[in-house]
């Protein structure tokens, strides 16, 4: 079922009564903070080719170019702040008995909004990882190719590129949280990138109530218990208000 602009009362009631809640977010949740999404008319993949910037082969070919792109995105994020969608998700965590946030976003805005139990399955923009020794560092520089503080090796952004495996423990924790969720909320993701796109289906298979929030239908829409079409920054606060007022 897909509805425009109005959260169904059933979704709010289920959320209020749920013992365990899992939320999966994608780039659409940060769109209202001014961070570009990947797909769609204004998405990054309109202007940049994923295979030139977001694969290990691209980094091996031209690490300088890849770092420039990541430094630019880090600057965008440093000038942005959390929006009402991020804050509503933090509000759900405050009220739920058991809560996990699984995010594909690498921008750190969920933590800025007060979320605590976060699985960043695609990594974090503000971290670098040494290609030589695996050492991870928080990034503070804004340009150039960072060098490892431990072995001086070349560092790469600590994010998950196409063709790379996700961290096994983090991914297992995400699937466990999906399978045990009584309510599973999916917001602002096109649901096309695997394995993240399988999480909501895993939740539905195990009997969880799946609520999708997006501007447009996605491959999940036919399976979700409810899909509400509209901006996450309006619909998520509406959901919280309805569930706990
Ligand atoms: C709003 C809104 C508002 C806007 N309110 N909503 C063929 C079939 C199946 C799988 C594969 C395949 N070929 C290759 C694969 C594997 C590949 C994959 O899934 N590809 C598909 C694209 C086909 N996956 C991988 O490679 C993964 N690894 C893996 O599978 O390992 C094993 C393996 C290896 C090799 C082959 C096969 C298996 C790794 C995926 C890593 C993804 N990395 C990126 C970059 C991360 C770092 C960075 O940020 O730089 O992750 S790509 C990019 O997509 C980023 C995102 O996290 C991810 C998901 O995007 P997201 O968040 O959904 O954003 P959008 O832009 O797609 O959607 C935004 C949505 O928001 C839209 O729906 C809007 O409508 C909505 N929206 N504003 C509400 N205000
Ligand atoms: Zn190192």
What string of DSSP letters covers 91-129? HHHHH-SEEEEEE---S-HHHHHT--SEEETTEEEEEEE
Taken in order 224, 225, 229, 232, the sign of the CA dihedral is: negative
How far apart are the CA of 127 and the centre of ligand 2, in A?
Answer: 13
The reported pLDDT for the residue numbered 231 is: 98
Task: Say yes or no to pLDDT of 1 above 90.
Answer: no
Task: Say yes or no to pLDDT of 212 above 90.
Answer: yes
How far apart are the CA of 161 and the centre of ligand 1, in A?
Answer: 9
How does DSSP assign 33-61, residue by residue? TT---SSSTTSHHHHS-HHHHSSHHHHHH
Q: Which two tokens stand for residue 25?
A: 């977010």
Which residue ranges have their beta carbon within 6 Å of ligand 1? 26-28, 31-32, 37-40, 43, 54, 104, 106, 122, 159-165, 188-190, 192-195, 213-216, 218, 231-232
Q: Which two tokens stand for residue 158?
A: 């600590």
Task: Determine the atom of ligand 1 nearest the C-alpha atom of 189.
Answer: 63
Note if 122 is an active site residue: yes
Question: Of these residues, 86, 122, 135, 138, which one is catalytic?
Answer: 122
The reported pLDDT for the residue numbered 140 is: 86
Task: Say yes or no to pLDDT of 195 above 80.
Answer: yes
Question: Which of 207, 208, 212 is closest to 185 using CA atoms?
Answer: 212
Q: Which two tokens stand for residue 128?
A: 């670098």
The reported pLDDT for the residue numbered 208 is: 98
Q: Which two tokens stand for residue 61?
A: 């070919």
Query: Which residues are within 5 Å of ligand 2 (an ion), measured at CB?
Result: 130, 132-133, 135, 148, 150-151, 153
The reported pLDDT for the residue numbered 123 is: 98
Instruction: Classify residue 175 by burial, with Cβ atoms within 10 Å: 0-12, 13-18, 19+.
Output: middle
The reported pLDDT for the residue numbered 199 is: 98
Local confidence band at 98 (pLDDT 50, 70, 90 cut-offs): very high
The reported pLDDT for the residue numbered 174 is: 98
The reported pLDDT for the residue numbered 2 is: 67
How far apart are the CA of 134 and the centre of ligand 2, in A?
Answer: 6
Q: What percent of the chain has pLDDT over 90?
A: 93
Task: Say yes or no to pLDDT of 141 above 90.
Answer: no
- pTM of this prediction? 0.97
How far apart are the CA of 18 and the centre of ligand 2, in A?
Answer: 44
Pocket test for ligand 1, best of 5, 171, 194 (most atoms within 8 A of CB): 194
- Report the alpha-carbon distance of residue 43 to residue 190 in Å, rounded: 12
Task: Say yes or no to pLDDT of 38 above 70.
Answer: yes
Instruction: Classify residue 48 by burial, with Cβ atoms within 10 Å: 0-12, 13-18, 19+.
Output: middle
54 to 62, 113, 117, 190, 224: CA distances (angstroms): 11, 27, 27, 18, 30
Residue with the smallest CA separation from ligand 1 atom 1 is: 28
Terminal CA-to-CA distance of the chain, rounded, Å? Answer: 25
Give the mean model confidence (pLDDT) for residues 49-56: 94
Residue with the smallest CA separation from ligand 1 atom 57 is: 104
- Report the alpha-carbon distance of residue 48 to residue 53 in Å, rounded: 8
How far apart are the CA of 128 and the centre of ligand 2, in A?
Answer: 10
Q: What percent of the chain has pLDDT over 70?
A: 99
Ligand in closest contact with the CA of 59 = 1
Task: Say yes or no to pLDDT of 3 above 90.
Answer: no
188: region left, alpha or beta (phi > 0 left; psi from -120 to 50 alpha): left
155-159 and 20-25: which strand pairing? unpaired
The reported pLDDT for the residue numbered 4 is: 80
How does DSSP assign 158-213, residue by residue? EEPPTTPPPPHHHHHHHHHHHHT-SEEEEES--S-STTGGGHHHHHHHTT-EEEEE
Q: What is the average pLDDT value for the chain, to the nearest integer?
A: 96
Instruction: Render pLDDT for 108-135 as a digit per residue (tens, 0 to 9).
Output: 999 999 999 999 999 999 999 999 999 9
């Amino acid at each position: 079922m897909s509805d425009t602009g109005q959260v169904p009362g059933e979704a709010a009631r289920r959320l209020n009564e749920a013992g365990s809640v899992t939320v999966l977010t994608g780039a659409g949740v940060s769109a209202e903070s001014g961070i570009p999404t990947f797909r769609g008319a204004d998405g990054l993949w309109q202007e940049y080719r994923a295979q030139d910037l977001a694969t290990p082969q691209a980094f091996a070919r031209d690490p300088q170019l890849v770092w420039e792109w990541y430094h630019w995105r880090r600057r965008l994020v440093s000038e942005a702040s959390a929006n009402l969608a991020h804050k509503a998700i933090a509000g759900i965590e405050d009220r739920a008995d058991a809560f996990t946030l699984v995010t594909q976003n690498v921008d750190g805005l969920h933590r800025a909004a007060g979320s605590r139990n976060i699985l960043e399955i695609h990594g974090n923009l503000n971290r670098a990882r040494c290609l030589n020794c695996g050492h991870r560092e928080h990034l503070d520089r804004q340009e150039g190719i960072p060098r490892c503080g431990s072995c001086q090796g070349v560092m790469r952004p600590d994010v998950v590129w196409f063709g790379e495996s996700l961290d096994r423990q983090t991914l297992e924790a995400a699937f466990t949280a999906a399978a045990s969720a009584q309510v599973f909320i999916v917001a602002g993701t096109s649901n096309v990138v695997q394995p993240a796109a399988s999480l909501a289906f895993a939740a539905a298979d195990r009997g969880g109530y799946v609520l999708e929030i997006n501007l447009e239908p996605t491959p999940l829409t036919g399976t979700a218990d409810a899909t509400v079409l509209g901006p996450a920054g309006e619909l998520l606060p509406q959901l919280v208000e309805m569930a706990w007022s």
